[in-house]
Chains A and B, each alone.
Chain A
């Protein structure tokens, strides 16, 4: 079948099973937009800013495990998209971004809306392509989806000059990909599994530390089986929340900078750390010199480059974490008689002591809304079943600490890049994927203004998201660091001249609410979530001085956490 390059782009997306493309048109992409107009297999979702397109595709990807797809034009189209591409890159999210480019003969001549998209995106994509011939489009799309979704996932960009999208060629979508320089991920060796399990059986102070890789590998069932079989304590990273149920007694909560006392102390004192799909980043380890001085490190990851990058592994297994957990579980079943629960009895009693400190304690108030309280009520009102997106800052940590996740793919946040503006467009992507589910965007008055224009997209496509704006009139996390580390010099962390969020929501055609009394929090949430077909923007006026605790300040170790002052004994 003879088709134009533009039609080939769209047909190729259809072949990949793409349901939604999030994008924004412009000159260099117009042939492709015209091709979208000729068909109804793949739906194009018009956002209001290209950053929103990437975050929406990202939210779709994180909540489904499927690749998110983005279409933007050249120049400012792709530069606006870069923040969202980098966000996906840092959290290993599968994404395919198509960008229009100026006509091939004009490349390099500083044409209108020309930018070197391949060059500008190179540090924040898994791979990228500049299409040179119309005949290459189908095979390149095939490769892009393959690269984005296999191994350690990530975003892939395809830059397509406008003239090529108008040229015509025979359309044949390839059945398979053959790339000699992109081999299949490695698999574990039986001997590695045996020696890893041997280390587990001999551990006296073990801890399972699981990260985003377990979520990406859809290995939550295998993880739960594994942790149960061993009787070990388990902690999740910010990116790994939901992989282990929040209310299970073996769960120590999140670890890291704002993790629980028990999780961080257990990491510090452990004699065996079982790291699963996690990368020992600086927010997890604290200072590397003081990290887990007595621990043997067992590190499982699909990406060999994370092994020994920050922390040297004693046993390293480079393979898909789901396959490895299955192999562990088989080996553990074989060694069932060698499991000795008494070996870790003292360890558990130590952990219970740490847990008794209740490090997430905060002082409830009758007069002023505590942000933690809103998140706790959000959990109650949604039965802990909602998809929760967040922006970046204190509210993100409160959501991670207090929502209580029981499933993967439901906690959607920018962990690696820490992108303010992520929450609302990500929630849109989630809503497209899960029309009947509750989707809450926990945000702050700073972050929400970074992509607030997407309220219009929510109106156009009837996306009844619930925006939970924890409004403390401060860039709260900045203010907290300034309080702790800059002698309370609050330089530019105060949000002056805030909009009337209720009126703003209404101006976009949504429902706005302002809540300023603790007694009204639950009722308002129930009212909002009962409005199944409306986006409700809930502006919670919260305590300006509240801080996130515990905290491992930078340069400190796990056993040097700063705990909330004033807690009664």
Chain B
């Protein structure tokens, strides 16, 4: 099962390496990990996407909670949640391919940034699933570079992850 775990972390140097070190030391999967400061500058919010059965996820949460820098955490996949990932893809599209590309971009509510006459950057935010769909829709194009931000998210019920 895929789980999205949101973590409030003390904004201390080394806090990120404690979390990533924990995952590698204990052999847990990380599908993606994002981190940035919150509106409270002393706290960072980290979003970890991981895969495991119930027991593995239980251990991951307990081990994360044991880290002194972890202030609070929540598995947002348990409740309703909103997840977003930003994708940027630099593609080659000649004049004959451009109309199709524009149709796809419109269909996904994405944006198209022109780099040159034959190169474009597609920009979109959405769930990882949606990002995968977009990439599938352009698989006829040559992708020169692809940057995905990894997932960030919030629960969509009234629970609030706070300290």
Given contacts A130-B13, A303-B66, A305-B62, contact A122 B18 (CB under 8 A): yes
- Cβ contact within 8 Å between B68 and A181: yes
Q: Chain A residues with Cβ under 8 A from B18's Cβ?
A: 122
- Cβ contact within 8 Å between A123 and B10: no
Q: Once the chains are docked, how many angstroms separate the CA of A312 from the CA of B58?
A: 12
Residues 42-72 of chain B: 1 if any A CB is under 8 Å from the residue's CB, otherwise 0?
0000000000000100110011011011110
- Cβ contact within 8 Å between B68 and A123: no
Given contacts A305-B59, A308-B58, A309-B59, contact A179 B68 (CB under 8 A): yes
B14 interface residue (CB < 8 Å to A) = yes
- Cβ contact within 8 Å between B63 and A126: no
A118 interface residue (CB < 8 Å to B) = yes
Q: Once the chains are docked, how many angstroms separate the CA of A365 from the CA of B25?
A: 48
The B interface, classified by DSSP as helix, strand, loop or mixed, is helix
* Beta-carbon contacts under 8 Å, A308-345 to B: 308-309, 312
Residues 125-154 of chain A: 1 if any B CB is under 8 Å from the residue's CB, otherwise 0?
011101010000000000000010000000
- Cβ contact within 8 Å between B62 and A181: no
Q: Once the chains are docked, how many angstroms separate the CA of A147 from the CA of B63?
A: 16
A8 to nearest B CB, angstroms? 21
B17 interface residue (CB < 8 Å to A) = yes
B163 interface residue (CB < 8 Å to A) = yes
Residues 454-470 of chain A: 1 if any B CB is under 8 Å from the residue's CB, otherwise 0?
00000000000000000
B40 to nearest A CB, angstroms? 11
B21 interface residue (CB < 8 Å to A) = yes
Q: Chain B residues with Cβ under 8 A from A303's Cβ?
A: 66
Residue from B10, B25, B63, B70 in contact with A305 in the complex, judged by beta carbons closer than 8 Å: B63
Nearest B residue to A309 by beta-carbon distance? B59
- Cβ contact within 8 Å between B21 and A182: no
Q: Once the chains are docked, how many angstroms separate the CA of A425 from the CA of B158?
A: 56
Nearest A residue to B22 by beta-carbon distance? A123
- Cβ contact within 8 Å between A181 and B10: yes
A180 interface residue (CB < 8 Å to B) = yes
- Cβ contact within 8 Å between B71 and A305: no
Q: Once the chains are docked, how many angstroms separate the CA of A132 from the CA of B13?
A: 10
Nearest A residue to B24 by beta-carbon distance? A123
Q: Once the chains are docked, how many angstroms separate the CA of A366 from the CA of B62?
A: 55
Q: Once the chains are docked, how many angstroms separate the CA of A286 from the CA of B18?
A: 31
Q: Once the chains are docked, how many angstroms separate the CA of A309 from the CA of B25?
A: 15
Given contacts A130-B14, A180-B163, contact A122 B21 (CB under 8 A): yes
Q: Chain A residues with Cβ under 8 A from B17's Cβ?
A: 119, 122
- Cβ contact within 8 Å between A126 and B68: yes
Q: Chain A residues with Cβ under 8 A from B10's Cβ?
A: 181
* Beta-carbon contacts under 8 Å, A287-316 to B: 303-305, 307-309, 312
- Cβ contact within 8 Å between A308 and B66: no
Q: Once the chains are docked, how many angstroms separate the CA of A296 from the CA of B88?
A: 53
* Beta-carbon contacts under 8 Å, B55-99 to A: 55, 58-59, 62-63, 65-66, 68-71
Q: Chain B residues with Cβ under 8 A from A118's Cβ?
A: 14
- Cβ contact within 8 Å between A181 and B66: no
Q: Once the chains are docked, how many angstroms separate the CA of A130 from the CA of B14?
A: 9
- Cβ contact within 8 Å between B68 and A182: yes
Given contacts A118-B14, A122-B21, contact A181 B63 (CB under 8 A): no
Nearest A residue to B64 by beta-carbon distance? A305
Q: Once the chains are docked, how many angstroms separate the CA of A307 from the CA of B163?
A: 24
Q: 5 tightest A-B contacts by CB?
A: A305-B62, A181-B71, A127-B68, A304-B62, A180-B163
Q: What are 29 of the A-B contact pairs (CB < 8 Å)?
A: A118-B14, A119-B14, A119-B17, A122-B21, A123-B21, A123-B25, A126-B68, A127-B68, A128-B14, A130-B13, A130-B14, A147-B68, A179-B68, A180-B71, A181-B10, A181-B69, A181-B70, A304-B62, A304-B65, A304-B66, A305-B59, A305-B62, A305-B63, A305-B65, A305-B66, A307-B62, A308-B55, A308-B58, A308-B59
Residues on A facing B (Cβ under 8 Å): 118-119, 122-123, 126-128, 130, 132, 147, 179-182, 303-305, 307-309, 312
